[in-house]
Structure formats: structure tokens, C-alpha cells
């Protein structure tokens, strides 16, 4: 039994490492972005921070749409029904592209009024509106990246999407450096180099991210449609797994002729999976937006410190997110293969691993908070406040890990409704209520005390759901 546990843990770690590296590289990109924008001053940082909750909402809706199909892919691959898994992929590309275009139009429509609705100060509204407008225009590309990447991950291929996401981070830094700052002289030992730049400030940060999204989306779609051994829609397949219904090296038919049309069963299943997640993201981001409105009256320094502290903390919890992604894949594959007890063991191991890793990163965050903020902003007032609130959050990281990884495991089994209800009760019943009471008395510190307490409550609720085991009955294929 001990040897089997070690085998499961080894497989979990092997799948987790690429996802964790991709998540960490994404956060490093956010650090660099924040540092670039932070060098422009507190107002520029606050402009992006003001709309960050809304960008999370729209991004979360795109992730939900992709997950509605990718969980089906995982369970079908686990059942060795690759033909139907490819059919689900076709539905995913078509439906999520339409969805991405729709949410993009909504975002473009509200971009001019959004900073006003969020209570932003007059001096940051224009930049905040422009940033969100460009972000909304890039949503179809982001949707395709999520759809293709999650399909690859749920088929068991963690390396390709992770590498492409890491590449996207590098592209974002390059594009941002060219677009945010004006043309400048860079002095190196014995030489002076002219670095070209557009000098677009906050607008350049949005454009740089949008361009990186577009390039990565194209490459991710190419990887899943032309290169994936199990899911490719074009070219020649080389999969020889047992019970694969396409012979080795058989030329793949034109997917437009094969099955590129709407299929009611697939769509119903996707909607049943995606709606609770979309509801969850709406509730969560609605709470973040409400939290933004609580923070906004505290002043520009508080808004900027809050935004940078969220960015700093994400370096701590993204390893848990990567482990949760691996848990989704392993649980989905084992549920699809009719092995619920193995799915349970993978879920328990993933939660234990995530809690251990995030306990360590939480301790590092507490100790390194001054260094982290020194890299993000030159403003002394923002640094002092940011370090204070970030150290409060460090105490919540172990139970935060439990909620993140458990949610990933439950998602692999198709259990998306109960986690959504847990998040609803936790965010609105605990965090927003406590933050609204503490902010007038303790300022931003009170908001983060409320956040720390809520994450602990949420982790305990998810742990109860995991241990009760009812989620094992949620097979959807």
C-alpha cells in the first residue's frame, strides 16, 4: 500500500510540476508588469488595480466555459473513448469562440462607465477605462487559449500548455517594455544602447498583454488541433493506445466534414458543468468588486497597496493552483475509467501536497514581504501598508491551499455546484460582511483581516466536502 501511495504521489508531482512552473512564471510576469507600471506612479498602479476585479470576473467566465468541455474530455480519455473526446473538442472550439466574442462585446460596452461604477478617483478613471477596453478586445484570444490549453491538460498533456503559458509571460514582458516606456538610453559597461519605446504608459501595458494573449492562443490551438496525439483534428494521428478507435497513422478527416456542428448532449453537459462555475466566478468577483468599492474610499495609496498585495500574494498560492490543475486531470481520468477509489486517493494526496507547499510559501511570504514590495513600487507609503497586509494573509495560506486543490479535484469529477455554493456563503457571508465592518475602523488592514478569516473558513468547508466523498458519484460521461 505504501509503495502504491508513492507511485500515486510521483505521478501527481510529475503532472503538477509543469502546471506549477507555468503558474509561477505567470506571477513573475505580473510582478514585472506591476513593477513597470508602478514606476509610473501610484495613480497608474491604482488605475489597473481599480478594474482588476472586473477583469478577474470576465476571465473567470472564460475559464468556466472552457471547463465545461475539458472535464468531459478528461473523463472520455479515461474511458478510452478518444473519438468522442475529439468531438467534444470541436464543440468546445466553436461554442467557446462564440462565447468569447459575446463577453468581449459586453466588456467593450461597459468600459467607459466601469471606473465610475467602481468609485474610482477622477484622476485614474481615464487610464482604467482604456486598460479595460483593450482587455475586453483581447477576450476572444484569451478564451481560445483557455479552451485549447485546458483540453490539452485534461488529456494528460501538461507540458505543452505549460511551456506556451511560460512563453506568453516572456512575450508579455517584451511587449510591455516596448509599449509602456518611451525610447530611452540603456547604459551598459562600456556601451550605451538605445531601447525603442512607444511611451504609452498604462495603455501600453494593456496592449502588451493583449498581443501576448493573441500569439499564445494561436500556438495553443495549433498544438491541440495539429500536434496532440489524442485530440488532434488535422494531420495524422500516432496514438496506439488500447481501444483507440482510429488506427495508427490514419489520416484525420477534415473536421469541418467530420463533426464541426452543435451536438445537444455535449452542450447540455457543458452547460451543466459551466453554469455553476460561472455563477461561482460571478459571486467571487462580485465580492471582489464589492471589496474594491470598500477599499476605494480609503484613498489612492490603499487602492495601490491592495492591488500590489494581491499580486504579491498570488506568487504564494499559484503552486496550489497548479497542483489543483493536476488533480482535475487525475480525478477526471480515473472517474472516467471507473476507478473512484483511485480518484479519491489522488484527491487526498493532492490536497495534502498543496497544503504542505503553500504552508512553506506562506512562511516565505511573511519573511520576504518587504523585499517583494521593494520590487513592486518605489512609493514608501504603499510599501509600508502593503507589507503589513501581506503578512496578515500569510496565516491563511494552508487552508487556502485546501480550498484551491479540493476545488480542482471536485471539478475533475464534475462536481461544480456545491463548491459554488460554498464560495457564495464564504465570500458574502464572511469576507464582505467583515470587511465592511472593519474597513471604517482599521482601514486596509481591516479588509485583509476579513480576507484571512474568510479563507480559513472556506478551506474548512471544502475539507468537509472532500472527506464526505459524495462528489465521487458525479460522473458525467
Domain ranges of the chain: 2-473
pLDDT of residue 378: 82
Q: Which of 359, 476, 338, 354 is nearest to 408 (CA)?
A: 354
**Distance (Å, rounded) from C-alpha 125 to C-alpha 112?**
9
Q: How far is CA 30 from the centre of its chain?
A: 12
pLDDT of residue 247: 40
**Distance (Å, rounded) from C-alpha 83 to C-alpha 230?**
9
pLDDT of residue 356: 94
| Torsion over CA: 299, 301, 302, 308 (sign) | positive
**Distance (Å, rounded) from C-alpha 320 to C-alpha 185?**
41
pLDDT of residue 352: 94
**Distance (Å, rounded) from C-alpha 204 to C-alpha 381?**
26
**DSSP helix/strand/coil, 338:** coil
pLDDT of residue 426: 92
pLDDT of residue 447: 93
Q: Whole-model pTM?
A: 0.76
pLDDT of residue 244: 35
pLDDT means per 10 residues, the chain with 477 residues, are 73 78 67 72 81 83 89 88 90 94 96 89 90 95 94 88 89 90 78 84 90 95 92 65 39 49 81 84 77 85 86 81 88 88 92 93 91 83 92 93 93 87 90 92 93 95 92 70
pLDDT of residue 26: 64
Amino acid at each position: 500500500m505504501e509503495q502504491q501511495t508513492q507511485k500515486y504521489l510521483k505521478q501527481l508531482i510529475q503532472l503538477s510540476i509543469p502546471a506549477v512552473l507555468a503558474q509561477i512564471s505567470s506571477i513573475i510576469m505580473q510582478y514585472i508588469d506591476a513593477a513597470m507600471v508602478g514606476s509610473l506612479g501610484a495613480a497608474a498602479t491604482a488605475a489597473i488595480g481599480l478594474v482588476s476585479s472586473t477583469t478577474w470576473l470576465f476571465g473567470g467566465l472564460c475559464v468556466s466555459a472552457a471547463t465545461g468541455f475539458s472535464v468531459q474530455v478528461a473523463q472520455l480519455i479515461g474511458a478510452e473513448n478518444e473519438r468522442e473526446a475529439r468531438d467534444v473538442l470541436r464543440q468546445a472550439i466553436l461554442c467557446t469562440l462564440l462565447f468569447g466574442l459575446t463577453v468581449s462585446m459586453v466588456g467593450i460596452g461597459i468600459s467607459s462607465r466601469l471606473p465610475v461604477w467602481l468609485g474610482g478617483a477622477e484622476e485614474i478613471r481615464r487610464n482604467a477605462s482604456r486598460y479595460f477596453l483593450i482587455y475586453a478586445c483581447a477576450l476572444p484570444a484569451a478564451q481560445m487559449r483557455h479552451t485549447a490549453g485546458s483540453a490539452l491538460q485534461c488529456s494528460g498533456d501538461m507540458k505543452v500548455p505549460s511551456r506556451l503559458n511560460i512563453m506568453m509571460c516572456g512575450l508579455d514582458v517584451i511587449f510591455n517594455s516596448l509599449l509602456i516606456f518611451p525610447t530611452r538610453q540603456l547604459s551598459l559597461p562600456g556601451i550605451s544602447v538605445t531601447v525603442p519605446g512607444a511611451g504609452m504608459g498604462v495603455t501600453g501595458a494593456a496592449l502588451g498583454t493583449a498581443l501576448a494573449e493573441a500569439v499564445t492562443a494561436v500556438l495553443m490551438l495549433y498544438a491541440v488541433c495539429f500536434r496532440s496525439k489524442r485530440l488532434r483534428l488535422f494531420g495524422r494521428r500516432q496514438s496506439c493506445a488500447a481501444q483507440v478507435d482510429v488506427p495508427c497513422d490514419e489520416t484525420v478527416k477534415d473536421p469541418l466534414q467530420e463533426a464541426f456542428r452543435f451536438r445537444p448532449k455535449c452542450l447540455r453537459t457543458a452547460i451543466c458543468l459551466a453554469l455553476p462555475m460561472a455563477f461561482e466566478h460571478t459571486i467571487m468577483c462580485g465580492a471582489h468588486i464589492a471589496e474594491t468599492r470598500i477599499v476605494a474610499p480609503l484613498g489612492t495609496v490603499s487602492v495601490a497597496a491592495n492591488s500590489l498585495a494581491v499580486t504579491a500574494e498570488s506568487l504564494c498560492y499559484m503552486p496550489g493552483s497548479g497542483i489543483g490543475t493536476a488533480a482535475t486531470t487525475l480525478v477526471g481520468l480515473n472517474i472516467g475509467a471507473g476507478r473512484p477509489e483511485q480518484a479519491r486517493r489522488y484527491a487526498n494526496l493532492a490536497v495534502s501536497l498543496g497544503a504542505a507547499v503553500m504552508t512553506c510559501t506562506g512562511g516565505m511570504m511573511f519573511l520576504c514581504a518587504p523585499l517583494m514590495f521593494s520590487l513592486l513600487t518605489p512609493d514608501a507609503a504603499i510599501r509600508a501598508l502593503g507589507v503589513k497586509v501581506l503578512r496578515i494573509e500569510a496565516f491563511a495560506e494552508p487552508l487556502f491551499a485546501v480550498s484551491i486543490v479540493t476545488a480542482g479535484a471536485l471539478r475533475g469529477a464534475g462536481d461544480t455546484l456545491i463548491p459554488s455554493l460554498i464560495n457564495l456563503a464564504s465570500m458574502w457571508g464572511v469576507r464582505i460582511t467583515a470587511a465592511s465592518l472593519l474597513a471604517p475602523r482599521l482601514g486596509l488592514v481591516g479588509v485583509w483581516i476579513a480576507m484571512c478569516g474568510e479563507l480559513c473558513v472556506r478551506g474548512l468547508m471544502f475539507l468537509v466536502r472532500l472527506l464526505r466523498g459524495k462528489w465521487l458519484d458525479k460522473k458525467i460521461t
